[in-house]
Amino acid sequence: MSYIAEVSRQIACHVDPARRNPLTVMFRSTFRPGTIEQLVRPIFQGVLGENLSAVELIYSPEFLRESTAIKDYFNPPKIVVGTEGGKRSANVDKLYENMSAPIFYTGYREAEFIKLVDNTFHALKVSFANEIGRVCAKLGIDAGKIHEMFVSDTKLNISPQYLRPGGAFGGSCLPKDVRALNFIAEEIGANTFVIDSLLRSNEAHKRFLVELVTKGLALEAKVLLVGLAFKANNDDLRESPNLDLARRLLQLGFRLSIYDPMVEPTSMMGHNLGYTYSHLPNIGEILVSKEEAEATIFDLVIDANGLANRLSLRCNSLFDINALR
């Protein structure tokens, strides 16, 4: 970052503080979040003082690949522009006016972070694909055919689905199948370190959500959890992360009520029944009706699967897990 600091200082020293129109200074190097606010702007501030408005600081990350950089510049997958408060810039608009890519104006930190997110996801995809390839090779499976079938699914696999930060994964399929692949890979010595970490990461996210929703909440506060099943409009509680959330909230001493119109303990059967009562034995006592949920004033309402918008709730705070921001 010494190069960034030095070039920032040199530019700042040559800016006319009496400029009528601000000089647009755009940075494109990969920055860690906070670099503009904590390094670049203080340098300009130190030189220009009260005339800092003589410059317009922009952070616009590049999405260029080696050997195709010029082509990528004029045909980027997206254009990201970080500004003070996410405000638009006339000069930047003019610079990019002939490009057809979607453009996003955002704050500095979001613009600085997206490049790291993109490249880490690319690395994750390569590592995941290679782990699957190792399993295929050891089991005598055609990895090319697996790839062909996998990428053909643009509804769920190669799509925005499952990529929005929110709740932990759960239900009767994902945890079970991840465990199955973990077991197979370990048994044949495929060394699938990325896949092996998925369940541990999911458990860490469950703990994170508990800390997040209860931050600043007084002991014995009245909490309503809206949605107990892992997905709305069903009563499958097997490995539901919301069931774990409810259990942890009770363990922490909060006065918990749960509303989920699809969950009826007397109608549960088989593994769903056993799993539910082993994790939440008092479920029958804390489930409430729509009328009771709407009549009670809660300190906190946690919307776990999008059902809260169907209710007329009275609460001091509402937390939507699936809109984690």
Q: Domain of 68: which CATH number? A: 3.40.50.720
Three-state DSSP at 72 gives: helix
Tell me whether residue 49 is in a domain. Answer: yes
- Whether 248 maps to a domain, the answer reads yes
CA–CA separation, 233 vs 263, rounded Å?
A: 9
pLDDT given for residue 270 in this prediction: 87
pLDDT one-digit tens code per residue, 46-98: 999 999 999 999 999 999 988 899 999 999 999 999 999 999 999 999 999 99
Domain residues for the domain of 264 are 202-323
Cβ-contact 64, 77 below 8 angstroms: no
Residue 154 backbone class (left: φ over 0; alpha: ψ -120 to 50; beta: rest): alpha
pLDDT of res. 296: 96
Average pLDDT over residues 209-225: 95
The DSSP annotation for 256-307 comes to EEEE-TT--GGG--HHHHHHHHHH-TTHHHHB--HHHHHHSEESEEEESSS-
Mean pLDDT of the 121-145 span: 97
Helices 108-139, 143-152: axis angle to 10 degrees equals 140
Residue, of 25 and 164, whose pLDDT is higher = 25
Q: Identify the active-site residue in 13, 136, 173, 315.
A: 173
Chosen domain end from 61, 87, 111: 111
Q: Which of 34-43, 82-91, 171-180 has the lowest mean pLDDT?
A: 171-180
The yes-or-no answer on residue 315 being catalytic is: no
Q: Which of 126-130, 168-172, 294-298 has the lowest mean pLDDT?
A: 168-172
Residues 96 and 206 in one domain: no
Query: Which residues partner with 105 through β-bridges?
Result: 81
> What does pTM read for this prediction?
0.86
- 306-317 pLDDT, tens digit each: 889 889 999 999
Mean pLDDT of 117-124: 95
Q: Average pLDDT in the 152-180 region?
A: 93
How many separate domains does the chain show?
2
pLDDT for position 13? 97
Structure tokens at 300: 């906190």
Q: Is the dihedral of CA 73, 79, 85, 88 positive or negative?
A: positive
Asked if residue 106 is part of any domain, the answer here is yes
C-alpha count within 13 angstroms, C-beta hemisphere, residue 38: 8
Of 73, 91, 111, the residue at which a domain comes to its end is 111
CB 9 within 8 A of CB 32: no
Q: Which of 142-151, 159-168, 197-206, 266-275 has the lowest mean pLDDT?
A: 266-275
Among the candidates 76, 111, 146, a domain finishes at 111
Beta strands in the chain (DSSP E): 23-27, 55-59, 79-82, 103-106, 222-226, 255-259, 297-298, 300-303, 314-315, 318-320
